[in-house]
Amino acid sequence: MSSDKKIILIGGGGHCKACIDVIETEGSWYIHGILDAADRIGQFVLDYPVIGTDDDIASYASQGFYFLITVGQVKYATVRQEIFEKAKKANALFATVYSPKAHVSKYATAGEGTIVMHYAHVGADVVIGRNCVINNHSNVDHDANVGSHCHISTGAVVNGACVIGDGSMVGSRAVLMQSVQIRHDVVVGAGSVVLKNIEESGIYAGYPLRKIE
């Protein structure tokens, strides 16, 4: 395998395991190892060793490795975004990974560091930013725009022409109706239905939707 297809994963929790499954299924990347907490160095996540911490990003970046942030995003994207910015300052290269079990339109685009996971659907003229997770069985329909550092969670539906601000999360099986816009740093709780624009950052849940935090 050529060195330009070697990847290092940053974060060794449950989301990392899901990403490993996608990367192995996709088949074109060699996983060199995982960066995590110092006390986990030498341990394994599935078949892959923890080889260092995020303090080692610059060293591996200088060797031409690619990276993917595999820290999960349950609410806000703060940790994922901080790691991404730290890595970019070290001139790190980021992989963009599409599961072969997903459908990504040839007319869609996704930024560096984004992973589209099993059975997701990404429609025509969709634009997805950097460092995003488009999770299993989610649907991002035509003309939608998803900002950077976003998580579209398992089974979520983002209907056509929706706009999602940076750092936002759409929870499992939540639904955004056609053309809804939500600002940056919004969390939409699992199973919620968004019928109108969300103009203030925060955590929202329910049907009818209400701000809870």
For residue 151, the SS3 value is: strand
CATH number at residue 32: 3.40.50.20
pLDDT(144) > 60: yes
Q: Which of 95, 110, 141 is the last residue of a domain?
A: 95
Q: Which of 72, 95, 118 is the last residue of a domain?
A: 95
Reported as a single tens digit per residue, the pLDDT across 61-102 is 999 999 999 999 989 999 999 999 999 999 999 999 999 999
| DSSP-derived secondary structure for 83-112 | HHHHHHHTT-EE--EE-TTSEE-TT-EE-T
Q: Give the domain range for residue 85.
A: 3-95
Instruction: Please check whether residues 91 and 105 belong to one and the same domain.
Output: no
Mean pLDDT to the nearest integer, 171-187: 98
pLDDT of residue 184: 97
Q: Return d(Cα 61, Cα 86) in angstroms, integer.
A: 11
Instruction: Please check whether residues 90 and 107 belong to one and the same domain.
Output: no
The values of phi and psi at residue 148, to 5°, are: -75, 155
pLDDT(48) > 60: yes
Instruction: Please check whether residues 202 and 105 belong to one and the same domain.
Output: yes
Q: Which of 95, 125, 154 is the last residue of a domain?
A: 95
Instruction: Please check whether residues 105 and 188 belong to one and the same domain.
Output: yes
Instruction: Please check whether residues 147 and 64 belong to one and the same domain.
Output: no
Cα 20 → chain centroid: 13
CATH number at residue 117: 2.160.10.10
pLDDT(2) > 90: no
**Total count of domains within the chain:** 2
pTM of structure:
0.96
Per-residue burial over 90-111, b if 16 or more Cβ lie within 10 Å, else e, is eebebbbbbbeebebeeebebb
Instruction: Please check whether residues 89 and 115 belong to one and the same domain.
Output: no
pLDDT(4) > 90: no
Instruction: Please check whether residues 115 and 193 belong to one and the same domain.
Output: yes
- 212 assigned to some structural domain: no
Residue type (1 letter), 167: G
Instruction: Please check whether residues 113 and 197 belong to one and the same domain.
Output: yes
- 148 assigned to some structural domain: yes
